[in-house]
Structures are given as structure tokens and as C-alpha cells.
Amino acid sequence: MNRNEKPLLEVQGLKKYYPIRDGIISHTIGQVYAVDGVDFDIYSGETLGLVGESGCGKSTIGRQLVALEKPTAGSIIYDGQEITNITGNQMKQMRTEIQMVFQDPFSSLNPRKRIKDIISAPILYHKICTRKTVDKEVDRLLDMVGLPKNSKERYPHEFSGGQRQRIGIAKALSLNPRLIICDEPVSALDVSIQAQILNLLRGLQKELNLTYLFIGHGLDAVNYISNRIAVMYLGKIVEIADAKELFQNPVHPYTKALCNAAPVPDPRDRSRQRIILQGEIPSNTVLYTGCRFVSRCPYATEQCRTKAPELKPVFPGSSHLAACPILAKSL
């Protein structure tokens, strides 16, 4: 990872609004502001973690990056090329560059197909291999993710959750992508299996020089695998920093609360001041004029209620960005 180079992926002002419909004629009565103006970049060879509570818009961003959903507004630039609205052959080429590992290993694989058919389908469609050589390629991919070659003759229901996720990773690798969107790939797995999958992803990244956007709802797994972490709340990114810096010196109150919720192995650190979140996440059907965290924040002022904070360096020249001018001033 070299931050003096241009980012592999740049996301600028990304928005995704879903209409709320009612009645027989599906009259639009409002909108869900799932993603509301998100900016971030990812450099080649790094892992950017994207963390936040369920429903904050993390997975929606992931689906937009692989063109499973079209943004309401904003720009997605991959390797210097605008890909927000590409179609046809450009879309086909982009599919080989950006792949996705899905959250649920039980529903992301076709139960009626054997593993070799699941993995070989994109290979044959994109003409990576011929039908004569595709079996060897499937064997190679299964070996890369730690599964025996005879796995290819079996069906998804014959595997455990961790094994199915390995198959999903093999499928994502089949087109030799540079960027993989990992959408909560370990959240449905037992803790012991989570560590195995995380170590597999790290090993593959080192071997193949892969770039990851790793989406999660807990800081423990995200912190383990990420170089940098972006914290998301109610459709907005509220803080971005190097993983170590974010964990040791969180600025935004929501980030502080997430860090408080993570296990603390050192007893000396357990006495630190803790922020306990009160109440439920506010509705994402409201377009807020102020800070979206204001109803749950112990530091909120009148300014927070009336003016939306911008994501800015916590001090001049810093790569640590936070959308909380109140706490940033106290550093």
C-alpha cells in the first residue's frame, strides 16, 4: 500500500435513497435515506474496514460498488475510470476486477448445483479457461482456500458454514479480481471459524496483492484485518483513521462507544471512561439538518442539532478524520 499513489477506488458523494410506497397504485409517501453522501478511498493492497450497526448503510455501499444497485447520486471511480453508470462490455470487464464475498454462506450458493459448476460458471462466461482446462482451475482455487479437490463434486448442503464461505471466496477469486468487497463474511460463523476465515483472507491478500473493503458490525474482526477503518452511522461516515489510531484515540462519540463495546484484554484499560449508548437508532426516513447522532450523544450542543458536521482532519494535516467539531477542538 502506497498512499503517494492514486487510490484504486474513490467514492465521492455516494447516495442511495429507497422510495417508501403505499396504496394500490404504489404512491410514494417518503424515502429511506440508506446512504446519504459518503466519501472514502481505498489504496491498492490495503484493507479498509467499514463498521457500524445494522441498517446504517454499509452493505448498501458494497452492493453499489459491484453494481448490484445503482446509486441515487454520487461517483464511483475505479483505477481512474468512472464506473458509476457503466453498461455492456465495460460492465463485463468491471466484474472481473471487483468481486464480492457475501454475508450468508448458506444462501449465497445455489443449492441445486455442484461446487465445480458454481465456481466454473463465471470462469467460462468470462472465457478465463476453456471447458477442457476449467476443472484444473477449479482444483487450484479450492486448494487456495483450503478445501480438497474432491469437494467440487459435492453440493453446498454437504458443507459447514465455514466451508461454504471458503467456497464463496474461491468463487470471488475465480476471475482474478484486484478488489474484493467482503460483506460481513464472518458474522454468521462461530468465533473459532471466524478466525480461520480472517486468516485465510489475510493470507490471500498477501499472496495475490488483493485489496479489500471489509464490512462488519463489530470492531474486533474489522480491527484484526484492516489497515484503516471508516465508522458509519445512519448513512454517514463519522470517522476514518488508521486502525491502531482509531482504536487508541477515537474522537467521535459513536466511535468511542464502539471501542467501549469491544473486549478489553488489559485490566488496566478497563477503568477508562466509557460511553454507553442510550436509546435506539433514529429513523433513516428523516433527512436530518444537524448531526444524526445528536439524540444519543452525551456531548451534544445546540450547534449539533442545527448544523450537520463535516468529516475533517482532527488536526491540520492529519489523515485521521472525524465529523465532530466539539470533541476535535478538545484534542
pLDDT of residue 273: 58
Strand order of the sheet with strand 312-313?
Answer: 98-101, 179-183, 211-216, 47-51, 228-233, 236-242, 321-322, 312-313
In angstroms, rounded to a whole number, what is the distance separating the alpha carbons of residues 141 and 147? 9
Q: What is the pLDDT of residue 265?
A: 57
Residue 317 has pLDDT above 80, yes or no: yes
Query: How do residues 195-239 score in pLDDT, each as one tens digit?
Result: 999 999 999 999 999 999 999 988 889 999 999 999 999 999 999
Q: Name the residue among 42, 127, 53 with its Cα closest to residue 76.
A: 42
Computed over every residue of the chain, the mean pLDDT equals 91
Please report where in the chains the cell 452493505 appears, as a residue. 59
Core vs surface per residue 229-245: b (16+ CB within 10 A) or e: bbbbbbbbbbbbbebeb
At 37, the pLDDT band (50, 70, 90 cuts) reads very high
In angstroms, the CA 308 to CA 43 distance is: 28
Q: What does the pLDDT read at residue 274?
A: 64
Position 264 scores a pLDDT of 59
Place 108 in a pLDDT band, splitting at 50, 70 and 90: confident
Interval 6-18 mean pLDDT? 97
Q: What is the DSSP letter of 86?
A: -
For 259-323, give the secondary structure using H, E and C.
Answer: HHHCCCCCHHHCCCCCCCCCCCCCCCCCCCCCCCCHHHCCCCCHHHHHCCCCCEECCCCCCCEEC
pTM: 0.92
The angle subtended at Cα 265 by Cα 263 and Cα 269, nearest 5°, is: 90
Pairing of strands 211-216, 47-51: parallel
End-to-end CA distance of the chain: 29
pLDDT 10s digits, 234-282: 999 999 999 999 999 999 999 999 888 766 555 555 555 566 677 677 8
Q: At what angle do helices 134-144 and 161-173 cross, to 10 degrees?
A: 130
Given CA atoms 23, 29, 31, 32 in this order, what sign does their dihedral have? Answer: negative
